Amino acid sequence: AKTMIRGICSYYPDYVMIVIDAERGPNETGINHFKLASAFSVPIIIVVTKIDQVSNEKLISVRQDIKNFINPDSFLITVDSDNAVSLCSRRINDENIIPVFNVSCVSSQCSGLEYLLSFLHQLPLNEANKKWNQNKEQGSEFHITETFQTAESNIPILSGIVVKGQL
């Protein structure tokens, strides 16, 4: 929980994505992260993975488990169409909706992943997050926290946080 609190307070995320294994269902850590994100009013996205490895009954049970720990005034919306992607990406910041993506990536079949990727591309900045919007006219500032290198490229990959403006 300390790491999650530090992350929210230090990085001012626009969104929080909670990933849930369909075989195991929500765990205590995920539930705590959900509650902390809710307490800080950070919009939440839920991704249920490994849906190919469970029955429909188990998937319904996992969804019920999720309903048991969300706020009673929030609505889970299963994103399984382009219309649902568009609706959720436009309204995630101004309504109590929680998009749920059921995802599987097995061999040549990638079920639900196309909706998740489309959704992520359409997400706007969270305008309620005023910290990001400060000093836009002064330019952007990005603090590099880590660098990575892949075997395929000599170009470093940078990881960090935007502390001012936007990239």
The position carrying tokens 């005023």 is: 130
11-15, 22-26, 78-82, 91-95: range with lowest mean pLDDT = 11-15
User: What distance in Å separates the CA atoms of residue 155 and residue 85, rounded to the nearest whole number?
Assistant: 34
Q: What is the pLDDT of residues 21-51, one digit of tens each?
A: 999 999 998 898 899 888 888 899 999 999 9
Predicted TM-score (pTM) of the model is 0.76
Return the amino acid letter for 52: D
Q: What is the pLDDT of residues 95-120, one digit of tens each?
A: 789 999 999 988 556 788 999 999 99
Range 35-52 burial, b when 16+ CB lie within 10 A, else e: ebbbeeebbbbbbbbbbe
At 109 the pLDDT is: 61
Average pLDDT taken over every residue of the chain: 83
